[in-house]
Structure 1
Amino acid sequence: MHTALLYLITVLIWGSTWFAIEFQLGDVAVEVSLVYRFGLAALLLWLWCWWRRLPMRMPLPLHLSVALMALLNFALNYYLLYQAQLYLTSAMAAIAFSTLLLMNIINTRLFFGQPIAKRIYVGALLGIGGIVVLFAPDLAERSLLNTSLLGLILVLSGTLSASFGNMLSVHNSRRGLAILPMNAWGMLYGTVALTALALLNGKSFSIGSTPEYLWSLLYLSLFGSVIAFGCYFALLKRMGPEKASYVIVLFPLVAVVFSSLFEDFQWQLSTLIGFTLVLTGNALVLTPFHKLKPLWLRFKPRKKLATVP
């Protein structure tokens, strides 16, 4: 699949999942809802791999690596994010989670020794700054005391867990592990870990009966887990964590659209400035200027070849 299409799918789906998560919170325990989400996603992935006859066997060291990736990326990460949305709005949680880009850039340098172009740091800071400006009215109105501070800590902790999981995903891909089998095993291991957590916490495995809960669960399982993670891990393998994770900065823009449609989000000057900063940062991160032909060479007229009379 073309890289731009992978970006678009990941941004649109993950940008909308923050709103869908709101329908998962309430009567059903967080860890139980996550068991349903990743259990269904694992089932769909295993059926797809079986239908495509993809090789699913792995040596034990790879199983251990995938299990750790699942614990960080699917279990701990989402458990903390769901808990955070009990205290924060989906927009606030999405803003805080967008720091994953900076965490991935730092961890890529630490774990893989990969040099990072200066433009990526500048672009990332512009993107993060754009998100902050975009939601400046919400940030100004909310106090970081009590529950809000707890929610912020939970989001940042989940984000750090996701970043470590991203590093393991890149490591596993470089060892030749295909994306779909890796995700199938990972979501299975994540489901087992979340089930154990629910049992340890004494949670009952009830299920929400409202249409909103059931439809959001299906959407989060199929689109938010199976499709979006497949596209994102493909971007990680193709482009590296520092560029692929820029989708994390872009998807809050989708959250703005959902807030405008369903939560009466008010467009202000800060909205326009935030969009401009994020789009500028996106262009800066994704454009390797040193590989581009200078503009004047592109439009320089070609010399006409002499013709033989």
Structure 2
Amino acid sequence: MTATQAGEKARAAAKVDSGSGFGRLDYALYAAVILFWGTSWIGIRYQLGVVPPSVSVAYRFIIAALIMFAWVIVSRRQLRFPLAQHGIFLVMGLFLFSTNFALFYYAGQYLVTGLLALIFSTAVLMNMINSMIFLGEPARPRVILAGLLGFCGLATIFWPQIAARGFDAGTAIGLVLGLGGALSFSLGNMVSASQQRRGVPMVSSTAWGMAYGSLLLVLYALLAGEAFTFDLRPSYVFSLVWLAIFASVIAFATYLTLLRRIGPARAGYVTVVFPLLALLISTFVEGYQWTVPAIAGLAMVLAGNVVVMRRH
């Protein structure tokens, strides 16, 4: 084992301090995840249309996995693992790098963007519950309060859009798909957090997880009879590169590091905050109009953000 691998194992095995305030690095990691995932919503828009959703996600994570493996090799991190460990990487790929994305892409065919963002934000509440069940973390009232503030804030912001859509069979299907995607994301968080606590290098586990996730997506697309087409328009190509490099490689490496440092319950709050960045971008790109309820919802989300970051 190299000194780099030993150092990473020691840091990963350190106990997660999910009760203290954010340090400077935590703030930087938090902001980076919000930036890259907040801008990913625009990229995903340009992925829909010509290429089937599962195929687009497969392309995204094939590229991301190749980059992650290059990172592992160049940085001389651990690449070989026992067969049993690969089973865990497969589960991680199933939950974190395939199922959740596929379900949300398909849910987007039935639901408006606002409802998708609201459903995904339930991951912060799922992370709290799953952390207690799978990681033995205690319930923290202030984190629960922050999650509820964030959820209510997003509901307030997007309610006009949700109400205008109405509730029908299509909405019900989209709701089930979206909640399934949020649950899959949360379970993937638990797998990653448990592996980092055991000292498995994050970069290595992410590379293998992305590889298995892309393989599962390819198998699904083949079984579903979906065509492996490619859209040569610059908008598709550039958005695919952005999603693979920034929203996948960099964002997931950053998020999973944050997960280790502050715990899944608080790290999951980024799922509440990054839709706000998407709205701010939409203000300039699509002419989104801020209303009084939207501003009130923004205030609730920001209040939850303060609660989740502060010390006891």
| Normalised TM-score (structure 1) | 0.91
Q: Which residue of 2 aligns with 1:257?
A: 280
Q: Which residue of structure 1 lines up, in the alignment, with residue 271 of structure 2? A: 248
The aligned residue for residue 52 of structure 2 is 29
Answer whether contact 1:97 1:159 (CA < 8 A) is retained: yes
Q: Which residue of 2 aligns with 1:281?
A: 304
**What is the aligned-residue RMSD (CA, Å)?**
1.2
Residue aligning to 1:104: 127
Alpha-carbon separation, structure 1, partners of 2:42 and 2:112:
9
Deviations 1:117-171 (A, max 9, x none): 2111111101111111111221221212132222222111111111111111111
Farther off after superposition, 107-116 or 181-190: 107-116
d(CA) in 2 for partners of 1:84, 1:281 = 27
Q: Is the 8 A contact 1:22 1:90 kept in 2?
A: no
Counterpart pick for 1:122 among 136, 141, 145: 145
How far apart are 1:62 and its partner, in Å? 1.5
Q: Which of 30, 34, 53 in structure 2 is aligned with 1:7? A: 30
Q: Does 1:64 align with 2:90?
A: no
Tell me what 1:271 maps to.
294
Aligned pair 1:91/2:114, yes or no?
A: yes
Alignment of 1:116-155 (within 5 A): 116-155=139-178
Instruction: Report if the CA contact (8 A) 1:62-1:172 is conserved.
Output: no
- For 1:84, the aligned partner's letter is A
Moved more, 130-139 or 233-242: 130-139
CA distance in 2, matches of 1:238, 1:66: 21
Q: Is 2:105 the partner of 1:82?
A: yes
Equivalent residue letter for 1:258: I
The structure with the largest alpha-carbon Rg is 1
**In the alignment, does 2:187 pair up with 1:164?**
yes
Q: Deviations over 1:75-131 (max 9, x none)?
A: 111110111112223333122101100000011111122112211111110111111
Determine the structure 2 residue equivalent to 1:295.
none
Using the TM superposition, give the Cα deviation of residue 22 of structure 1 relative to its aligned residue in structure 2, in angstroms. 1.2
Shifted more, 184-193 versus 83-92: the winner is 83-92
| Pair 1:187 & 2:210 matched | yes
Look up the match of 2:76.
Answer: 53
Q: Secondary structure at the match of 1:234?
A: helix
| 8 Å Cα contact 1:91/1:256 also seen in 2 | no
Of 247, 253, 257, the residue aligned with 1:234 is: 257
Letter in 2 for 1:71: L
What is the alpha-carbon distance in structure 2 between the residues aligned to residue 4 and residue 206 of structure 1?
A: 40
Query: Contact 2:30/2:270 (CA < 8 Å) preserved in 1?
Result: yes
Q: How far off is 1:11 after superposition? A: 0.6
